[in-house]
Chain A
Amino acid sequence: MEMNKNTKIIIAVVVILAIVVIVAAVFFLNPTDVTKDAKDMENSELKMFGNINGDGFIDEKDTKIIKGLIDEGKTATEFPLADANQDGKLSQADIDLLNKVIKGESCTIWHMNLHDVDGNGTMDYEKVSTKFPVTSMICTGSSNTFMMLNLAGIFDEVKGASYGSSIDNIFNDTYKNTEKVVKLGTSSQNIDFEDGKGAASEVIKKENVTMVLSDWNRTYLTNEDKFEAAGVDCVRLAAASTDIKVMAHDYYMLGLLFQKQERAGEVVEYLKEVMEKIESAIGKENKAVSAVVSSMTNYYSVGDSDYTAIIKFDGATNPLDKGSWGGTTSIKVMDNLDVFNPDKYKYEYVIHLRAYNAYTGEADVPKIYNDYTKTIAEYWENGYDGQYLVNANMPIPARLAYVASIFYDDIDKSWADEIHQGFVDKFFTKSYNVSEQAFVFAE
């Protein structure tokens, strides 16, 4: 029996159609390939286990992807970020935990602390667990930490802080108000847990404190184990980082822990916008600026620190990188007079990053400038020319913008003021006109 031509054509069309339908079904009807949405910790904006899509929030998108991974029989070894409860397997328990986080119910979350774990001066990731949500905390109070908390909108939750005298008076009503926030010592880096009258154990019990916030550097909160032993979780962030990825994690983490995700989202969005603006203004190509940083009187910062990162971000080279300084992050210039030898170390700028009361205009800025610069001016070939005082009590991008305006003639200070003013208008509790105050000063 022979098929006629039409029958052959019909069969061919049917076969082709069938193939197309099968291929389409594979593409469109098959469950979503969830693995492509899974991110690793390095690329996650919020470095928390369970944040499988790598954005800044824990939400249904994460639970959906993790459910897909469970359905596909994937393992925690293949997708470690999906293992929200860190029990070594992917299961409904991970989704249940994330659902609790989404609803703001009490649970324990697993995330990364930014911490110099091995003591080599660089930031590492340290896996830790933290009780969620946080309603009461204490912190080591550096200027940068207070500014970060200020931008994140975290005020009443801070029950205690240790801080020095250089903290800006704009925090007089918040973190420096001792009726609301117990002062836990005068160090900006460490808090005693249980020692003299100025330690933390009393306020922890009285205020049900469950978290202590500190910075990534190894000199911060050296007695972390004591807090952990007493059931107080230590969260470490990098309040002075110039890396937008790190900044994003800082704010998303705070937003999550304190249930202020919306505010965190706004801050990160603005940070990204501003950082992009700064980077594009600097346009690092064809720039040949060399500078050093001083964060303590008659000391220069060396190596990789939050201070040297400022000038490097702004496209400057640090000639002191060539030297060998024995693992420290700051050197006393009088003990290292070579730093003034132009044949060895040549630089155009000395940026003095110091905290003083700029917002309220209370500081005697010319005097501060003179105190910090006079010794260096005696030894450095450029004298005072090229020495700038930059306030360290302000959002990091504003700091970067002011330093860029020092380095480059085509960047005006008013541009930096505008960036700075943006932070003040959007996130500060009080209004300040930054262009009227001396956030940068030189004679």
Chain B
Amino acid sequence: MTESFEQLKEQYSKYTLRKILFIIVCITLTVTMFWLSLAVGTRQLSLEESLSLFINHLIGNAPDPDSELWYDDSIVWNFRVPRALFAIISGAGLSVAGAVMQSIMKNPLADPYTTGVSSGALLGASIAIVLGFSLTGGGIDNMGIVVNAIVFAMLPVVAIVAMGPFFRQSPASLILAGVVVSFAFSSMSSLLLVTTDSSTLARVYHWQVGTLSEVSWDAVLPVFIVELVGICILFPLANKINLMALDDKDARSMGLDSEKLRMICLVTLSVMAAIIICYVGVIGFVGLVIPHIVRIILGSDNKYLIPASAAFGAAFLLTCDVISRSLDVNASIPVGVVTSFIGAPLLLLLIIKEKKNIW
């Protein structure tokens, strides 16, 4: 018996080590990609130059505005660093939100946008860009779009929470409610977009696909705070979220209020997704695919799935952004296009290779 206990312990250690190793590899990959991302872009800088500019700025040795290095420092510090940090934070946030959404909805097709936050945000942004109206009262400057997007993104969530008592908050009903609300908001956006000119339409479309090209330092701090708070709320709930894989009645018999937990998670991850969307548009695929890939590799234990999704999501989105900036074409490629282009075959490959049913 002692021998089998030791074997079991060893197996569990290996099981845990594998997961921790995966997370460490993802973090290492993220750090490496962060360095690479400082050197990749329109302005041609070597890895050494970009790292030196970054470190010198970090330790307070930023070049003087009149110096030869000022321009390159400005490129690295004001464009590439915030963009890379935003990719890391939003990749982690969207992946965690997707993993939790899929778990609480018990549905592999759920993603952070299932509640309709993306449709709401799109309507808010469209109102700002097409009609020139923003809730800040200041026309369509970037802050006008951001504020419109976040306020309108939260409307579907509020609607679903308010409607909760009417359909007892079952996962299927919540998803259906989200789909209905999404359609309602999308139709309003479409109504606005069909009447506008092509240049405005292109601007909305760029936002709709999701791009990190407009990210500045102003966006990094609020997104970091919201994602950090969101992950801090969701991660301690991992064990309870695991229990939600059971039937609601069984979960309740184990002392878990599934409906209440589902609503807490729903609101938290919707806010996490909304804050990202409002700054960079709808970056698709990350919240849907990353948790699946992590599940295939590590299993469905949310205690590991949540941090591993965060680490892998950060590395994935940053890598996609670096690729989008490296392509030698005469136009900027939105990162949302690259995430789908790389994520879809990657997931398909893993499904075929692993041949296991993760749900």
Q: Any chain A CB within 8 A of the CB of B203?
A: yes
| Chain A positions 308-354 with a Cβ under 8 Å from a chain B Cβ | 325-332, 335-336
Question: A205 to B213, alpha carbons, bound, how many Å?
Answer: 19
Which residues of A in the span 218-236 have a Cβ within 8 Å of any Cβ on B?
A: 218-219, 222-223, 226, 229-231
With contact pairs A219-B199, A299-B197, A328-B130 given, residues A202 and B330 touching in the complex (Cβ less than 8 Å): no
B65 contact set on A, CB distance < 8 A? 231
Chain A residue numbers with a CB within 8 Å of B194 are 332, 335
> A328 touching B196 by the CB < 8 A rule?
yes
**Chain A residue at smallest Cβ distance from B76:** A194
A-B Cβ contacts below 8 A, count: 108
Q: Which residue of B lies closest to A184 (CB)?
A: B330
B13 CB–A CB distance under 8 Å: no
Which has the most chain B C-beta neighbours within 10 Å: A120, A219, A231?
A219
Stretch at the interface among B36-44, B106-114, B115-123: B36-44
A99 within 8 A of B: no
What are 5 A-B pairs with beta-carbon distances under 8 A? A120-B132, A189-B199, A194-B79, A231-B74, A296-B197
A-binding residues in B (CB < 8 A): 41-44, 65, 70-72, 74-75, 78-80, 130-132, 139-141, 194-200, 202-203, 213-214, 324-333
Answer yes or no: A179 CB below 8 A from chain B CBs. no
Q: Which of A196-219 contact B (CB under 8 A)?
A: 196-202, 204-205, 218-219
Q: At the interface, yes or no: A119 with Cβ under 8 Å from chain B? A: yes
**CB neighbours of A42 from chain B (8 A):** none
CB of B42 within 8 A of CB of A195, answer yes
- Given contacts A196-B331, A219-B203, A326-B131, 19 further A-B pairs with CB under 8 A are A120-B132, A185-B331, A186-B330, A187-B202, A189-B199, A194-B41, A195-B42, A196-B42, A196-B327, A196-B333, A197-B327, A197-B328, A199-B41, A201-B79, A202-B44, A205-B43, A325-B195, A326-B130, A327-B132
Residues of B near A229 (CB, < 8 A) are: 74, 78
B72 touches A329 (CB 8 A): no
Alpha-carbon separation in the docked complex, A328 to B133 (Å): 12
Partner of B139, one of A118, A330, A331: A118
Contacts of A331 in B (CB 8 A): 195
CB-CB under 8 A from A118, the residues of chain B are 139
- Does A193 belong to the interface (CB within 8 Å)? yes
Complex CA distance for A76 and B76, rounded to whole angstroms: 41
B332's partner among A195, A202, A219, A299 (CB-CB below 8 A) is A195
Q: Please report the C-alpha to C-alpha distance between residue A120 and residue B132 in the assembled complex, in whole angstroms.
A: 7
Q: Which residues of A contact B80 (CB under 8 A)?
A: 194
Tell whether, in the assembled complex, residue B42 and residue A201 are in contact, meaning their CB atoms are under 8 Å apart. Answer: yes
**A119 and B195 in contact (CB under 8 A), knowing A186-B330, A186-B331?**
no
A94 close to B (CB within 8 Å): no
Docked complex Cα distance between A95 and B71 (Å): 31
Whether B41 contacts A205 by the Cβ 8 Å rule is no
In the complex, chain B residues whose CB is within 8 Å of the CB of A200? 42
Closest to B44 in A: A202
Cα of A205 to Cα of B326 in the assembled complex, Å: 19
**Cβ-neighbour of A197 out of B71, B199, B200, B330 (below 8 A):** B330
Q: State which of B41, B42, B195, B203 has its C-beta within 8 Å of the C-beta of A222.
A: B203
Is A192 among interface residues, defined by CB-CB distance under 8 A? yes
CB within 8 Å of B: which of A27-66?
none
Known: A120-B132, A325-B195. A230 touches B331 (CB 8 A): no
| A223–B216 CA distance with the chains assembled, in angstroms | 11
User: How long is the Cα–Cα vector from A196 to B334 in the complex, in angstroms?
Assistant: 10
User: What A residues does B200 contact at CB under 8 A?
Assistant: 219, 328
Of chain B, the residue at the smallest CB distance from A121 is B132
Residues of chain B within 8 A (CB-CB) of A330 are 197
Cα distance A330–B74 in the bound complex, in angstroms: 39
| A183 CB within 8 Å of chain B | yes
Partner of B130, one of A120, A296, A299, A327: A327
Q: How far is the CA of A186 from the CA of B139 in the complex (A)?
A: 27
Q: Which residues of A contact B132 (CB under 8 A)?
A: 119-121, 218, 327
Determine how close the nearest CB of chain B comes to the CB of A116; give it in whole angstroms: 9
Q: Which residues of B contact A329 (CB under 8 A)?
A: 197
Residue of B nearest to A229 (CB): B78
- Chain A nearest CB from B79 CB (Å) reads 5
How far apart are the CA atoms of A201 and B328 in the complex, in Å? 15
Assembly CA distance A65 to B140 (angstroms): 41
Closest chain-A Cβ to B38's Cβ sits at a distance in Å of 12
- What residues on B are CB-neighbors of A296 within 8 Å? 197-198
- Give Cα distance in the complex from A331 to B324, angstroms: 34
Candidates B195, B196, B199, B329; contact of A196 at CB < 8 Å: B329
Instruction: State whether A327 and B131 are in contact (beta carbons under 8 Å apart), knowing that A194-B41, A219-B200, A296-B198 are contacts in the complex.
Output: yes
Q: How far is the CA of A199 from the CA of B83 in the complex (A)?
A: 16
Give Cα A214 to B331, complex, Å: 19
Q: Per-position contact with B for A161-203: 1 when CB-CB < 8 Å, else 0?
A: 0000000000000000000000101110100111111111110
B262 nearest CB across to chain A (Å): 40
Contact B42 A328 (CB under 8 A): no
A119 and B141 alpha carbons, distance in the complex (Å)? 9
Question: Quick check: A230 and B75 within 8 Å, CB to CB?
Answer: yes
A183 to B330 CA separation, bound complex (whole angstroms): 8
Q: A202-B44, A205-B71 are in contact. Are A120 and B198 (CB under 8 A)?
A: no
Closest to A162 in B: B330
Question: B139 near A230 (CB under 8 angstroms)?
Answer: no
Cβ–Cβ < 8 Å partners of A198 in chain B: 42, 329-332
Residues of the A chain whose Cβ atoms lie less than 8 Å from the Cβ of B324:
196
| B333 / chain A contacts, CB cutoff of 8 Å | 196
> How many Å lie between the Cα of A186 and that of B329 in the bound state?
11
Query: When the two chains form their complex, are residues B198 and A226 in contact, meaning their CB atoms are under 8 A apart?
Result: no
Query: Are A196 and B139 neighbours in the complex by a CB distance under 8 Å?
Result: no
Chain A residue numbers with a CB within 8 Å of B42 are 192-202
B325 pairs with A231, CB closer than 8 A: no
Whether B71 and A230, one on each chain, are in contact in the complex, defined by CB atoms closer than 8 angstroms, is: yes
